[in-house]
Structure 1
Amino acid sequence: MYMSIWCHNLNLSSRSLAIALVACVTLVYFSYSFNACLFASLSRTLQQSNLRNLLTLPQRNDTSSSSSSSNNADATTTATPSTSNATTTPPTQPAAQPLPSIDGAPKYQMLRQQGLRPSRHLPDTLIIGVKKSGTRALLEFIRLHPDVRAAGSEVHFFDRHYQRGLRWYRHHMPYTIEGQITMEKTPSYFVTKEVPQRVYHMNTATKLLIVVRDPVTRAISDYTQAASKKSDMKRFEQLAFVNGSYAVVDTNWGPVKIGVYARYLERWLHFFPLSQLLFISGERLIMDPAYEIGRVQDFLGLKRVVTEKHFYFNATKGFPCLFKSEARSTPHCLGKTKGRNHPHIDANAIERLREFYRPFNNKFYQLTGINFAWP
């Protein structure tokens, strides 16, 4: 009897123990599952937070980031000057600077919200010359196009600062987004011997814009600008001719030498096909800016956005002006140096210079396939 009771109690204890064991296992399982889910959820939240911070990191040091990530191949493989002008001086790297105007501009904030990140790029197009032919006017007029962004001042990279490297050059370019053209203007590029090869090493597909005008008028304009900065400068006739006689033209004088366009063009054609060069008439750019800018837009593959409605003619200056520009929304003309009155030059001196330039002009017409009909 006692054995029966003991066995019965033993069965109850075993059953209770089994039930308790199952309950414990179940509790441990649910506790583990809950903690695992909680841990996974926290991990995902932290990862998303870190990712969001990376994506929205402000461009405080865009100078360094653009130089290390954007166009990295160009900066590392072609930043060394060409072998014909090699130098042992290491490229000078620009110091990183904050860019509050870029971060703070509503336009760029909106672009970032749309997933577009403005960045600096090496230029697709260069205005390489010619000095005192209308390069500033061309730059201001083409910058009216929303798909063109240009450096505001002459960078002089290829003729003065080439040893600094392409990374330095890119730092001086404006911010652009995908689909926009980056442009730079330095008129002395056209006449500097080393520049064509250097531009070629940067990008063989670079498009080149060249503004030309009657070389005699250009020389007088060049002289006028120099004389405005130097009150005791000799008269034009004294500088343009040897020994004050009109018999021999001084071809070593800069304003005269620059006008021999064919000499410099041959250097450029050694590296670039004629199809990558567009020649703009400086005379027509003044008289009919919409026509010349239309040609430029076609050459660059842009929609014709800049038209007659953007210009008006200022009879006092004898120069086209703008109803609005990239920087100003009100009508205005270019700087006071544009349309400046030229000094009186002896008619015999002008005629002698025309005789001097005539064969060079004809050679230039042959090279370009364009007759500019200069006197």
Structure 2
Amino acid sequence: MRLQEIDFLIIGATKSATTWLQQSLQQHSAIHMPDPELHYFSRYYERGTDWYTQQFARQPHHRLVGEKSNSYMDTPEAAPRIRRDLPHIRLIAQLRNPVERAYSDYCMLYRRGEVGKDIDQYLDPRLADGGRFLNGGLYYDQLRAFLDLYSSDRLLVLLFENIRTQPQRQLDAVRDFLLLDSELEVPPVTTKVKDKTQPVISPGLRKVLAPLKSIAKPFRQNPVFQAARSVIARELRYPPLSKDLKTRLIDYYAPQVERLGTTTGQDLSAWLSNVVPQRDPAG
């Protein structure tokens, strides 16, 4: 496998259903994508091109080869590295309302026990000082880095919100962008990739049990283990995103959203409406 044989990258954004997009494309007989996110151009570039190309197992019937790594959008070093190694590549960015994206990202880490209940500490622009949750939604700056290196016809910008209403149309746009035969359908994945309503062990108890994680891993599919887990697992109640906090987030992202809308020619005004989600909007 050579670098020149890699045709496209899904570069992000995080918590924008890019796994759904990847799994849908993997159903296409002409497309090959490795399952794990490689994060080569963002985290593992020092491993070299031999390591990277070995992650792909192209078969004779595969016309297109690509990969998905959400970290490419929000890692400043990724764009110039990709341009240097893959000047021919096609890029796909699937974006989501940055306020909902930040909240969904927070809920994911809360679910894992990696952040606490004080949501303002992580999402309030007056307190958080950037960081993972806020910086992940600076789409205009992130895509500008790629558009400074690639022509606009090499970048396809999709919106997460369209998946809910027109999933097939979303995938048809990807199919056309990748120059696949028009008669080939790419059926969308119909089940939730990550269901945030599934019962989980509480963050506090998860921390207590963390030292046993490696020991328990081989037994996760055991009926006795699953029965024991079901006793202590509960659907989480996520810290709510208040209207005041959402207003501050909207004000924080408004300049980025306006510039992005002008650059992509898309109406993104709905992202700046103050409708507060009652639970994590991912799924």
Cα distance in 1 between the residues matched to 2:17 and 2:85: 26
Contact 2:32–2:64 (Cα < 8 Å) also in 1:
yes
Q: How do residues 101-250 of structure 1 correspond to structure 2 at under 5 angstroms?
A: 122-177=5-60, 180-230=63-113, 233-241=116-124, 248=126, 250=128
Q: 1:334 to 1:239 in 2, by over 3 A?
A: closer
Normalising to structure 1: TM-score of the pair? 0.58
Normalising to structure 2: TM-score of the pair? 0.75
Amino acid corresponding to residue 247 of structure 2 in structure 1: E
Q: 1:196 to 1:341 in 2, by over 3 A?
A: farther
The Cα offsets for residues 62-99 of structure 1, whole Å up to 9 and x where unpaired, read as xxxxxxxx53xx5xxxxxxxxxxxxxxxxxxxxxxxxx
Deviation at 1:156, TM superposition (A): 1.1
Is 1:275 equivalent to 2:153 in the alignment? yes
Amino acid corresponding to residue 365 of structure 1 in structure 2: G
Report the count of equivalent residues: 233
Partner of 1:265: 143
Cα distance in 2 between the residues matched to 1:182 and 1:360: 32
Is 1:368 equivalent to 2:240 in the alignment? no
Contact 1:128–1:208 (Cα < 8 Å) also in 2:
yes
Cα distance in 1 between the residues matched to 2:268 and 2:237: 23
Deviation at 1:344, TM superposition (A): 1.9
Cα distance in 2 between the residues matched to 1:168 and 1:338: 37
Cα distance in 2 between the residues matched to 1:298 and 1:159: 28
Contact 1:176–1:182 (Cα < 8 Å) also in 2:
no
Cα distance in 1 between the residues matched to 2:28 and 2:101: 28
Deviation at 1:273, TM superposition (A): 1.1
Contact 1:130–1:211 (Cα < 8 Å) also in 2:
yes
Pick aligned residue for 2:242 from 346, 356, 360: 346
Cα distance in 2 between the residues matched to 1:184 and 1:295: 18
Deviation at 1:336, TM superposition (A): 3.3
Contact 1:122–1:173 (Cα < 8 Å) also in 2:
no
Cα distance in 2 between the residues matched to 1:140 and 1:284: 17
Q: 1:238 to 1:335 in 2, by over 3 A?
A: closer
Q: 1:225 to 1:249 in 2, by over 3 A?
A: same
What secondary structure is seen at the aligned counterpart in 1 of 2:252? helix
Q: Percent identity of the aligned residues?
A: 25
What secondary structure is seen at the aligned counterpart in 2 of 1:126? strand
Pick aligned residue for 1:359 from 243, 255, 271: 255
Amino acid corresponding to residue 268 of structure 1 in structure 2: F
Contact 2:32–2:62 (Cα < 8 Å) also in 1:
no
Q: 1:342 to 1:277 in 2, by over 3 A?
A: farther
Q: 1:137 to 1:191 in 2, by over 3 A?
A: same
Is 1:334 equivalent to 2:193 in the alignment? yes
Deviation at 1:157, TM superposition (A): 0.8
Q: Which has the higher contact order (CA 8 A, sep 6+)?
A: 2
> Which stretch of the first structure deviates more once superposed, 148-157 or 362-371?
362-371
Deviation at 1:122, TM superposition (A): 4.7
Amino acid corresponding to residue 227 of structure 1 in structure 2: Y
Larger Rg: 1
Deviation at 1:343, TM superposition (A): 4.2
Contact 2:120–2:245 (Cα < 8 Å) also in 1:
yes
Pick aligned residue for 2:179 from 298, 301, 325: 301
What secondary structure is seen at the aligned counterpart in 2 of 1:209? strand
Unaligned runs of 5+ in 2: 199-235, 273-283
Contact 1:150–1:182 (Cα < 8 Å) also in 2:
yes
Partner of 1:111: none
